[in-house]
Chain A
Amino acid sequence: MLVLGPIGFTAPWLLAGLAALPLLWIVLRAVPPAPIRRRFPGVALLLGLRDADQTADRTPWWLLLLRMLALAAAIVGFAGPVLNPVQRIAGTGPLLVLMDGTWADAGDWQRHLDRAAQALDEAARDDRTAAVVVLTDRPEGPLPFRAASDWAMQVPSSMPKPWQPEGAAAWADGLDGAFDTIWLSDGLDREERAPVLAALEKRGTVRVFQSARPVRALRPPVFQDGVIELTALRMDSDGAATVGVVARGLDPNGIERDLARGDLTFPAGQAEGVLRLSLPPELRNRVSRFEIEGARSAAAVALTDDSLRRREVALIAGSEDREALQLLSPTYYLERALAPSTDLLHGTLGDVLLANPDAIVLADVARIAPGQSEALQDWVREGGLLVRFAGPRLAASDVSRDGPDPLLPVRLRAGGRSIGGAMSWGEPKSLRPFADTSPFHGLPLPGDVSVTAQVVAQPDPDLAERTIASLEDGTPLVTRKRIGAGQVVLFHVTANAEWSSLPLSGLFVSMLERLAVSTRAAPPGTADLDGTIWTPDTVLDAFGRIGDADGLAGVAGAELAAARPGPATPPGLYAGDDRRVALNVTGPDTRLEPAAWPARIAVEGMETAQETALKGALLAAALGLLALDLIASLWLAGRLRGPRAAVAALAALMIVGQPLPGLAQEADEAFAIEATRDVVLAHVLTGDARLDGLAQAGLRGLSRTLQARTTVEPAEPVGVDLERDELAFFPFLYWPVSPDQPRPSDEAYARLNTYLRGGGMILFDTGDADVAAFGTQTPAALRLQELARPLDIPPLEPVPADHVLTRTFYLLQDFPGRFAGRDVWVEAAPPDVETVEGMPFRNLNDNVTPVVIGGNDWASAWAVGEDGRPLHAVGRGYAGERQREIALRFGVNLVMHVLTGNYKSDQVHVPALLDRLGQ
């Protein structure tokens, strides 16, 4: 193969033909064009005239050039030119294609695959066996060397993983045999890289390919001083760069969208950039993840867990003892414990319930007003967390004495008890270690927590399972009851230090956290998670996409706290008891360093050069030039006159011009926008210009009537081509049937059926006043049967007197158009509908009837011209005008029926509804 610059030739000796071109130039130049024979009587006058120029008429230089170019194109084309020919050195022996397959590869995974496919392709050509190994997903056992073509089919299905390879060095050391390696690296530095490289080099040559694509990562967000601090990392640190960071989450409608966006700037020379986002709590609580815009990588996604959520907690104390000491206030310790991590609400119970907080803390509130109690129960049932603290009031009251109070987890004994006081026996009690069923399981017990007084639960059968913390002697200290989706928790001590030293200890804060009353800013440590089981809720793939975590096993909290993303703990969101913890690809101390390869390894890029054969294009160019030459020759010879010239010009345009794609699509979009901007009535184009014009005018009249009389304000009606146009935009199709209209194609019928099933309505109008009466077969009726046969039409019946069509807007009993009085057919009512006593009408179809069939020629009655005057006469005199009015009312009813469905039918329930409302 001969290579000239980026072009190689498969048959270069053919290029010698180019040398003949100058010769051809001279010959072609000398040969005059072939003569035309013409009959011409005036020849007698021409006899004896000599040509002024005795030399042969020369072919003009540009025509020669055209021919030369055509010939040259043909010669070069046959010489087999190839763009970007691949020059390669054939190798021998097995080939290992090693891919890192980490999240850093995900951004241009396709190029990795292409490069691997090319390597396999070359190996197949050289008859080498190959093995493809993704380091993050290594096969067991020895390297699977197989035929390279076999691998080529398998490679496209391999996927990167959202974690780093682990144990690769040991794996590489265990390899044996001799093979060459092509290593498609992700470009990130790792400790294991050097040992793996050393191990591979022992087996054969190693070539490294590495993408020059910048890798970026986003650290988990940190909430600090009211702002969210986002730190992004990059591999290189030269020059300043700006990336967009998007906060995504569910909006109030449950649709995921971008909630906030900010530009994060990497200062020049720094590998880290910081963005501070200040979001209102409502918005912040909705954020489920932050992403670097346009980066397809798991590292560029930072999932948020509870650490970003600021719960709204309402604190309500039984008595506001303003005169007492601040430290004795029932809520003082609660406020101190909750204020750093939650948004506190104050106010009366009725007020805070309206704010729908995440949790309500009642400190020593005994009685709750009956109305508020129900509201509170509803709130708890819908997922609220009610935390109550005991106190003198609760102990003194008779709440939950005889029967269980719905807002207390257990029944209480009267009076409570005090331990270790001057008037009592025994020591103040400390806590018993938490059972493993308790949400507090794993929390360390400080030794100095003691309880001196408490309210005591009645020993009910379910007391044991409701107890989540107890004293040394087994007396319940904290009890919990689930109500619906929420729960009620009772601390049997006070919220201040009066009855126990619990509120003074760190345990108190931890317990509140475990109960998800509060959240903590720092990521949970081992101690926080110890003793809990977490199940993956959503997981990230290497591309940063969120996926379901169905079928993944739960992870122990201690493991999760120490976990790095790996096969056992994929990055994602883990859900515990009432909390969620995010395991992100990028940790708070992750750094991105470019891989450092030894100098002996030449790192190549990922670019795969695609061979492009130019033969076809060149031959086509030669043919095009020859066609142009043909036209030009004809023109020169004076044979292009009259219509022939026009044809030739057209042909030349077709040769030179290119088809313009994309116009059709734009037209489609314009149609869709036009059809959906407003309500648009539509009629089916029948191909009969008169009928189509009539339908258009009729719908125009109906549209104007609707505009004038109702809140439906349709735009100008349009005609739809069943074969081409999308029907879903139109609530209503008017289909005038004529005996000679063409039958739509099967695809059109399929779409019509979809349209009907999706709630569309077609009004068939034979316009002959006769169709509805069975037995009299007009041509239009026959055609209608033929047209409607493939349609999915339910059983029909004449419009019953109590059909919803008779009352959707106007009260009507007949439906005239230009003709009056014949039946109109709609979907039949179910056979089991009975008239209910006292109801004016039956509760009929629950749907819009998909078809209305009649022959009253409504379009003629509706039709108005551009100036709004009726186009066709209806009946005679006043009676005729009345008939037109009724026809218009029918149209209004019909469109209302289409747009509101069975709304008017549902009016049968109004008396019952009013009755139920007690009015």
Chain B
Amino acid sequence: MTDPAALRARAEGLAAPLPPLLAGARHLARTVALGSHGRRRPGQGDEFWQYRPFAGGDEARMIDWRRSGRSDGHFLRQKEWQAAQSVMLWVDGGRSMAFASGDRLPAKGHRASELALALAILLLRAGERVGLADRDLPPRTGELQLLRLAGALGDAESAAEYGAPGTRDMRAGSRAVFLSDFLGDIAPVHAALTAAADKGVSGVLMQILDPQEEAFPFDGRTIFESMGGGLRHETLKAGDLRGRYLDRLAARKAELRDLARLTGWQYGCHHTGDAAQTALLWLYAALERDH
């Protein structure tokens, strides 16, 4: 007989280390129900993919005789490609990501971590290897990696105002996902993307912005400070700056988009005011497209 009270105590003990972030991410990942999952191309794997007519250059041992026996032609049996990919995630840990314009909105960093973890869950579930750049977490597979990811994301705190992506751990031919607001200096991003492209790494840039950053709803005499207080800008008429700020923001987005196109990456923008599921779906689909 198992004492229910004891059972519950044990269960709670087990559940305690699981960070709330992971729970949120699992919840988010669960909402993504993809009809099919796979590389959708022939290759090494266990699952049947397609029959293909015999063509010149094919070895005779590749012919599927059972299928060919039913018709006059010869057919090859192909399996779906299931080679595991390694995906490096980079979540901006800069102070700027801690910004949230309202009580009801999550901080940008929180949303980024959540998206990253949910994506990791989906990828791990699909058998990919997932790692975390800048946190010394090389790509690995399995449930344990998920816990490691969650732990690393949970205690990430950087002193820098704006984070910069690193390409140190990226392996050639792997995939990468950068989650940041990309409001800081663009040069490190530029360098990282160029380096990644050199290594043959393709991936996704996801810009996460707060609605206030998109709207700039300020008026009057204002002193703007960065989250760490390191940068400040004083204006007498904040309202006058709105147009120029929005222009600059649009320019920054265009710059990122161009950079992504040049390096074969994909660029997306997400606002913390929107639902996380859309962003996750887009991320996931972007990774799918990226072959």
Chain A interface residues toward B at CB < 8 A: 32-47, 49, 51-53, 56-57, 636-639, 641
Q: Are A56 and B236 in contact (CB under 8 A)?
A: yes
Query: B183's contact among A44, A49, A636, by CB below 8 Å, is which?
Result: A44
Query: A49's contact among B184, B185, B233, B239, by CB below 8 Å, is which?
Result: B233
Q: Are A44 and B226 in contact (CB under 8 A)?
A: yes
Q: Are A47 and B233 in contact (CB under 8 A)?
A: yes
Interface centre among A34, A42, A44, by most chain B C-beta atoms within 10 angstroms, is: A42
Query: A38's contact among B184, B223, B244, by CB below 8 Å, is which?
Result: B223
Within 210-240 of B, Cβ neighbours of A (below 8 Å) are at: 210, 212-213, 216-227, 231-240
Closest to B226 in A: A43
Known A39-B226, A39-B227, A43-B232; judge A53-B240 contact (CB<8 A).
Answer: yes
Query: A638's contact among B212, B218, B224, by CB below 8 Å, is which?
Result: B218
Closest to A57 in B: B236
Q: Are A38 and B220 in contact (CB under 8 A)?
A: no
Return A556 CB to nearest CB of chain B, in Å.
97
Distance A34 CA – B221 CA, assembled complex (angstroms): 7
Q: Does B181 reach chain A (CB closer than 8 Å)?
A: yes
Choose the segment among B44-52, B189-197, B245-253 that binds chain A (4+ C-beta atoms closer than 8 Å): B245-253
Q: Are B218 and A51 in contact (CB under 8 A)?
A: no
Distance A641 CA – B217 CA, assembled complex (angstroms): 10
Q: What's the A-B contact tally at a CB cutoff of 8 Å? A: 109
Closest to B97 in A: A41
Distance A47 CA – B232 CA, assembled complex (angstroms): 8
Distance A641 CA – B101 CA, assembled complex (angstroms): 13
Known A51-B236, A56-B236, A57-B237; judge A44-B162 contact (CB<8 A).
Answer: yes
Q: Does B241 reach chain A (CB closer than 8 Å)?
A: yes
Q: Are B237 and A42 in contact (CB under 8 A)?
A: no
Q: Are B183 and A41 in contact (CB under 8 A)?
A: yes
Chain B residues within 8 Å of A639, by CB: 220
Return A45 CB to nearest CB of chain B, in Å.
4
Within 153-203 of B, Cβ neighbours of A (below 8 Å) are at: 161-162, 181, 183-185
Pairs of residues from A and B, 9 with the lowest C-beta to C-beta distance, nearest first: A638-B219, A41-B96, A35-B221, A638-B220, A637-B220, A43-B224, A45-B248, A40-B224, A57-B236
Chain B residues within 8 Å of A36, by CB: 220-223
Known A636-B220, A638-B218; judge A35-B234 contact (CB<8 A).
Answer: yes
Return B106 CB to nearest CB of chain A, in Å.
14
Within 13-62 of B, Cβ neighbours of A (below 8 Å) are at: none
Chain B residues within 8 Å of A33, by CB: 220-221
Distance A42 CA – B212 CA, assembled complex (angstroms): 9
Q: Are A42 and B244 in contact (CB under 8 A)?
A: no
Closest to B235 in A: A51
Known A44-B183, A53-B237; judge A38-B218 contact (CB<8 A).
Answer: yes
Q: Does B282 reach chain A (CB closer than 8 Å)?
A: no
Distance A56 CA – B221 CA, assembled complex (angstroms): 9
Q: Does B99 reach chain A (CB closer than 8 Å)?
A: yes
Return A694 CB to nearest CB of chain B, in Å.
43
27 contacts between A and B (CB under 8 A): A32-B221, A35-B222, A36-B223, A37-B225, A38-B224, A39-B227, A40-B213, A40-B224, A40-B226, A41-B99, A41-B183, A41-B227, A42-B245, A43-B225, A43-B233, A44-B161, A44-B231, A45-B248, A46-B224, A46-B235, A46-B241, A46-B248, A57-B237, A637-B220, A637-B221, A638-B218, A638-B220
Query: B226's contact among A34, A41, A51, A638, by CB below 8 Å, is which?
Result: A41
Distance A639 CA – B218 CA, assembled complex (angstroms): 9
Chain A residues within 8 Å of B213, by CB: 40-42
Chain B residues within 8 Å of A52, by CB: 237, 240
Distance A53 CA – B221 CA, assembled complex (angstroms): 12
Return A492 CB to nearest CB of chain B, in Å.
116
Q: Are A51 and B237 in contact (CB under 8 A)?
A: yes
Query: B181's contact among A32, A37, A41, A637, by CB below 8 Å, is which?
Result: A41
Chain B residues within 8 Å of A39, by CB: 99, 224-227
Chain B residues within 8 Å of A43, by CB: 224-226, 231-233
Closest to B239 in A: A638
Q: Are B219 and A38 in contact (CB under 8 A)?
A: no
Closest to B214 in A: A42
Return A643 CB to nearest CB of chain B, in Å.
12
Known pairs A40-B226, A49-B248 / 11 extra A-B pairs, C-beta < 8 Å: A32-B236, A36-B221, A41-B99, A46-B224, A46-B235, A46-B245, A47-B233, A49-B241, A51-B240, A53-B236, A57-B220
Query: A40's contact among B184, B225, B239, B249, by CB below 8 Å, is which?
Result: B225
Chain B residues within 8 Å of A638, by CB: 218-220, 222, 238-239
Chain B interface residues toward A at CB < 8 A: 96-97, 99, 108, 161-162, 181, 183-185, 210, 212-213, 216-227, 231-241, 244-245, 248-249, 252
Interface centre among A37, A41, A42, by most chain B C-beta atoms within 10 angstroms, is: A41
Distance A53 CA – B97 CA, assembled complex (angstroms): 32
Return B140 CB to nearest CB of chain A, in Å.
33
Return B44 CB to nearest CB of chain A, in Å.
45
Return B75 CB to nearest CB of chain A, in Å.
58
Distance A378 CA – B212 CA, assembled complex (angstroms): 104
Chain B residues within 8 Å of A57, by CB: 220-221, 236-237
Chain A residues within 8 Å of B245, by CB: 42, 45-46, 49
Return B189 CB to nearest CB of chain A, in Å.
13
Q: Are A38 and B226 in contact (CB under 8 A)?
A: no
Chain B residues within 8 Å of A40, by CB: 99, 212-213, 224-226
Return A704 CB to nearest CB of chain B, in Å.
53
Closest to B102 in A: A642
Interface centre among A40, A49, A56, A637, by most chain B C-beta atoms within 10 angstroms, is: A40
Distance A638 CA – B224 CA, assembled complex (angstroms): 14
Q: Are B183 and A45 in contact (CB under 8 A)?
A: yes
Return B275 CB to nearest CB of chain A, in Å.
22
Chain A residues within 8 Å of B184, by CB: 44
Distance A840 CA – B268 CA, assembled complex (angstroms): 100
Q: Are A46 and B237 in contact (CB under 8 A)?
A: no
Distance A39 CA – B231 CA, assembled complex (angstroms): 10
Closest to A640 in B: B219
Q: Are B219 and A46 in contact (CB under 8 A)?
A: no
Q: Are A38 and B231 in contact (CB under 8 A)?
A: no
Chain B residues within 8 Å of A641, by CB: 217
Q: Are B249 and A37 in contact (CB under 8 A)?
A: no
Q: Are A42 and B183 in contact (CB under 8 A)?
A: yes
Chain A residues within 8 Å of B237, by CB: 51-53, 57
Interface centre among B217, B226, B232, B236, by most chain A C-beta atoms within 10 angstroms, is: B236
Distance A636 CA – B99 CA, assembled complex (angstroms): 25
Known A45-B248, A51-B240, A53-B240; judge A38-B222 contact (CB<8 A).
Answer: yes
Distance A36 CA – B239 CA, assembled complex (angstroms): 13
Chain B residues within 8 Å of A35, by CB: 220-223, 234
Distance A57 CA – B220 CA, assembled complex (angstroms): 8
Chain A residues within 8 Å of B236, by CB: 32, 51, 53, 56-57
Distance A478 CA – B79 CA, assembled complex (angstroms): 154
Chain B residues within 8 Å of A53, by CB: 236-237, 240
Chain A residues within 8 Å of B108, by CB: 41
Closest to A641 in B: B217
Return A830 CB to nearest CB of chain B, in Å.
72
Q: Are A637 and B219 in contact (CB under 8 A)?
A: yes
Return B225 CB to nearest CB of chain A, in Å.
5
Distance A46 CA – B224 CA, assembled complex (angstroms): 9
Closest to A37 in B: B223
Return A806 CB to nearest CB of chain B, in Å.
66
Interface centre among A32, A51, A56, by most chain B C-beta atoms within 10 angstroms, is: A51
Interface centre among A33, A34, A38, A47, by most chain B C-beta atoms within 10 angstroms, is: A38
Chain A residues within 8 Å of B218, by CB: 38, 638
Return A19 CB to nearest CB of chain B, in Å.
31
Chain B residues within 8 Å of A49, by CB: 233, 235, 241, 244-245, 248
Chain A residues within 8 Å of B162, by CB: 44
Distance A33 CA – B223 CA, assembled complex (angstroms): 12
Distance A637 CA – B231 CA, assembled complex (angstroms): 22
Closest to A36 in B: B222
Distance A38 CA – B213 CA, assembled complex (angstroms): 12
